[in-house]
């Protein structure tokens, strides 16, 4: 029987401080994501999804009206794993040239990304995605994810309140700035940009 396990963080729980606290990481990863994983394992037990890879569970359940709970939990696991993988402490890599070409400058990219993430109503994610041959910034609400829409994720920020409220309260913009200016793992982004 297939059982999805907790995704190990690529850094220590206190490594992103002062931008994201250990308390936030332990709550976000250790409790929220752990709950999605438990729920997903319970939901897929004995079903056609039981032995399918996570991305395939998402793509298949996205069009199955009877599998909305499976989709929501699977997509949340995927989205969170992608978000955590896209950050690193003391990141030193440069923003990839392809992003500069698509958005004109580092400042333009950050401004558009922040504007999109700030304007997302309620809970969800802001993504840099490859859609066909172009790069674009999109928002997804709740658990939705680009792979359910045949787009390739490049970078994401989680703007559900549990991702920042312990550290930033209602200052979502400050959290987005801290993420873009100090936490983005541009090496991870560069790998995702490859076709």
107, part of any domain: yes
CA 146 to the chain's CA centroid: 10
Q: Sign of dihedral through CA atoms 147, 149, 155, 160?
A: negative
Q: What is the CATH number of the domain that holds 117?
A: 3.55.40.20
Residue 105 shares a structural domain with residue 189: yes
Pairing between β-strand 134-141 and β-strand 152-158 as defined by DSSP bridges: unpaired
Residue 54 shares a structural domain with residue 140: no
Tell me, what DSSP letter sits at residue 33? Answer: I
CA-CA distance, 86 to 133, in Å (whole number)? Answer: 22
CA-CA distance, 63 to 49, in Å (whole number)? Answer: 13
44, part of any domain: yes
36, part of any domain: yes
Residue 101 shares a structural domain with residue 152: yes
Residue 108 shares a structural domain with residue 183: yes
Judged on CB neighbours under 10 Å (0-12, 13-18, 19+), 90 is exposed
- Domain limits at 35? 22-85
Residue 32 shares a structural domain with residue 105: no
Of 32, 61, 85, which marks where a domain is finished? Answer: 85
Judged on CB neighbours under 10 Å (0-12, 13-18, 19+), 42 is exposed
13, part of any domain: no
Of 85, 112, 135, which marks where a domain is finished? Answer: 85
CA 9 to the chain's CA centroid: 13
So what's the pLDDT on residue 2? 58
CA-CA distance, 94 to 34, in Å (whole number)? Answer: 32
* pTM of this structure: 0.96
pLDDT in tens, the chain (195 residues): 457 888 899 999 999 999 999 999 999 999 999 999 999 999 999 999 998 999 999 999 999 999 999 999 999 999 999 999 999 998 888 999 999 999 999 999 999 999 999 999 999 999 999 999 999 999 999 999 999 999 999 999 999 999 999 999 999 999 999 999 999 999 999 999 997
Question: What tens digit of pLDDT does each residue of 95-109 get?
Answer: 999 999 999 999 999
Q: Which two tokens stand for residue 51?
A: 């032995």
Question: What tens digit of pLDDT does each residue of 116-158 get?
Answer: 999 999 999 999 999 999 999 999 999 999 999 999 999 999 9
CA-CA distance, 129 to 137, in Å (whole number)? Answer: 6
Residue 105 shares a structural domain with residue 147: yes
Count the domains in the chain.
Answer: 2
115, part of any domain: yes
Residue 108 shares a structural domain with residue 174: yes
């Amino acid at each position: 029987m297939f059982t999805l396990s907790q995704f190990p963080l690529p850094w220590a729980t206190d490594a992103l401080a002062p931008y994201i606290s250990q308390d936030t990481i332990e709550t976000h990863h250790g409790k929220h994501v752990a709950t999605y994983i438990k729920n997903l394992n319970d939901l897929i037990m004995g079903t056609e999804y039981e032995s399918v890879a996570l991305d395939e569970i998402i793509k298949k359940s996205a069009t199955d009206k009877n599998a909305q709970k499976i989709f929501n939990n699977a997509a949340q696991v995927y989205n969170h794993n992608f978000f955590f993988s896209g950050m690193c402490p003391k990141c030193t890599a440069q923003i990839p040239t392809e992003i500069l070409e698509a958005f004109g400058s580092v400042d333009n990219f950050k401004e558009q990304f922040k504007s999109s993430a700030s304007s997302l109503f309620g809970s969800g994610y802001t993504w840099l995605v490859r859609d066909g041959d172009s790069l674009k910034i999109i928002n997804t609400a709740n658990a939705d994810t680009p792979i359910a829409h045949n787009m390739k994720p490049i970078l994401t920020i989680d703007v559900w309140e549990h991702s920042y409220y312990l550290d930033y309260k209602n200052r979502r913009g400050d959290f987005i700035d801290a993420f873009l200016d100090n936490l983005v793992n541009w090496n991870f982004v560069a790998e995702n940009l490859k076709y």
